[in-house]
DNA sequence: CTTCCTCTGTGACAAGAGTCACTGTACTCC
DNA sequence: GGAGTACAGTGACTCTTGTCACAGAGGAAG
């Protein structure tokens, strides 16, 4: 286990009170995860609360036929709400979390996380706030699926992607299609249309976003 | 304000500890809501946590064009997770809660609910458990929208409806269509098919469910 | 009984999205 | 430079869902 850089951690979680930070530094473990690796899947027993220090995680849903769709991204400073509330789920569909880039996480043993809820007000607030944020993001995703056509969903997806990792979207059409639970051809066509409006420029294996609001 | 029937309330929320129950009885207000009335809409400032004592609430999403879809039902013993985490939301789409039947709710002022989180372990657990349940239900809804065709979504919807209010589904095709964000004609056709398999029987203004598993 | 209104059933058509087949294009590795 | 491979573009077709138009059917109220 590497030595925790206190300053670094504090910077990501400034809302946590001092004594809690001390415990956190002492009791949690730092883990590095390579881009592309799976961080979590429901059904598996989750024994830790996950705090994200650096990098980018995507949380998505996968059904029994291998279809998937993106729920939301987690950025540094976020906690994985699901890791806090993972009950024994034995349904067919799963929630998965995967590292988009290399990622550093802090693992807090569940029993501690549980205990801190009563002990530290700031931890408690942090946990509740995490639930809220995830709930809201999930609702946005739900909205876009329920009310919007694929063209608007694609826009929503691109906007979100730009927000977490910049205007260079380094994804193939196939990858985008997967995350929207659609098919490559359809995404290709829609992207082409977007390019024609001038909103984006297409390249091999990536695309540049110029302005998604003009559409 | 009516007098709270302690026994009744205890029965719905047996997991709450005694001193908390006492405070709850003293500090919260009972409110009766008529079938069809709106309980809540986001954006509006929510000043209370809502506990459901009797009746049935539906929680649904509505977008700016009046489209809607059902998120989940709340039954007696449930709390409205949203009333606990309503931040100032000023987006276009809204979460709405409406009474399906006549409903009795207990209103807990937000500042108390907040305080109890630290004070009573059982309250804290109850709140966390509520979040979890709603999150899970929302995920199921999301799944059915993202992965399933309308036929399967209709089945899922009917099953859920049967679970909360029995095998007589007293809804017009139009109402069902609304809750699935679809159109009457399509729902009519799908229901007809279901009737042909023997899973349900159609009537004017209601339908009987026999067995939804056989489909 | 008659009128009126809401709910339901149905056929025809349109639009969106998925699938298939095939072509072209850029990059990588010998 | 040439072969192989993953990615991207495109047309044709199908299926599902939504829309429009209209016809019955059942209830309610007079």
pLDDT in tens, A40-83: 887 677 778 899 999 999 999 998 888 999 999 999 999 987 77
Domain-embedded: residue A215: no
CA atom of B174 to C1′ atom of D24, Å: 18
* CA separation for the pair A194, A198 (Å, rounded): 7
* Of B96, B126, B145, the domain-final residue: B145
Q: Which domain holds residue B171?
A: 148-209
Q: Rounded to a whole number, what is the distance in Å from the CA of B208 to chain A's nearest CA?
A: 28
Number of domains in chain B: 2
Domain-embedded: residue A1: no
* CA separation for the pair B138, A98 (Å, rounded): 21
- The CATH number covering residue B55 comes to 2.60.120.10
Q: Are residues B157 and B197 in the same domain?
A: yes
* Of A111, A145, A179, the domain-final residue: A145
Q: Is the pLDDT of residue B75 over 90?
A: yes
pLDDT for the residue A1:
46
* Chain B CB contacts of A95 below 8 Å: 139
pLDDT for the residue B152:
97
Q: Are residues A59 and A161 in the same domain?
A: no
Q: Are residues A119 and A164 in the same domain?
A: no
Q: Strand C: which bases are under 7 Å from protein Cβ?
A: 6-12, 16-21, 26-27
Q: Are residues B122 and B155 in the same domain?
A: no
* CA separation for the pair B183, B154 (Å, rounded): 12
Residue B37: partners with Cβ closer than 8 Å, 6 or more residues away? B98, B99
Interface check for B152 against chain A (CB to CB < 8 A): the answer is: no
Domain-embedded: residue B186: yes
Q: Is the pLDDT of residue B1 over 50?
A: no
Interface check for A146 against chain B (CB to CB < 8 A): the answer is: yes
Q: Do B135 and A85 touch (CB under 8 A)?
A: yes
pLDDT for the residue A88:
44
Q: Do B61 and A146 touch (CB under 8 A)?
A: yes
Q: Are residues A119 and A22 in the same domain?
A: yes
Q: Are residues B140 and B154 in the same domain?
A: no
Residues of chain A with pLDDT under 50: 1, 88-90
Confidence of residue B148 (pLDDT cuts 50, 70, 90): very high
* CA separation for the pair A198, B174 (Å, rounded): 42
User: In b/e form, how buried is each residue of B140-172, taking b as 16+ CB within 10 angstroms?
Assistant: ebbbbbbbeebeebbbbbbebbeeebeeebebe
Higher local confidence (pLDDT), B162 or B95: B162
* CA separation for the pair B116, B17 (Å, rounded): 11
């Amino acid at each position: 286990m590497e030595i925790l850089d206190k300053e670094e951690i504090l910077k990501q979680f400034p809302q946590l009170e001092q004594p809690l930070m001390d415990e956190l530094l002492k009791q949690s473990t730092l883990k590095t995860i390579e881009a592309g690796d799976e961080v979590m899947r429901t059904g598996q027993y989750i024994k830790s609360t996950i705090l994200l220090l650096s990098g980018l995680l995507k949380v998505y849903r996968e059904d029994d036929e291998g279809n998937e769709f993106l729920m939301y991204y987690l950025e540094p400073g976020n906690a994985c709400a699901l890791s806090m509330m993972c009950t024994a789920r034995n349904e067919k569909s799963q929630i998965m979390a995967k590292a988009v880039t290399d990622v550093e996480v802090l693992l807090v043993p569940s029993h501690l996380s549980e205990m801190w809820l009563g002990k530290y007000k700031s931890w408690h607030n942090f946990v509740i706030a995490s639930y809220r944020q995830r709930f809201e993001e999930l609702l946005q995703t739900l909205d876009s699926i329920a009310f919007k056509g694929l063209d608007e969903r694609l826009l929503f997806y691109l906007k979100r992607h730009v927000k977490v990792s910049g205007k260079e979207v380094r994804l193939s059409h196939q990858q985008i299609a997967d995350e929207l639970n659609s098919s490559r051809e359809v995404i290709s066509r829609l992207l082409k249309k977007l390019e024609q409006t001038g909103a984006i420029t297409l390249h091999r294996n990536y695309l540049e976003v110029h302005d998604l609001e003009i559409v």
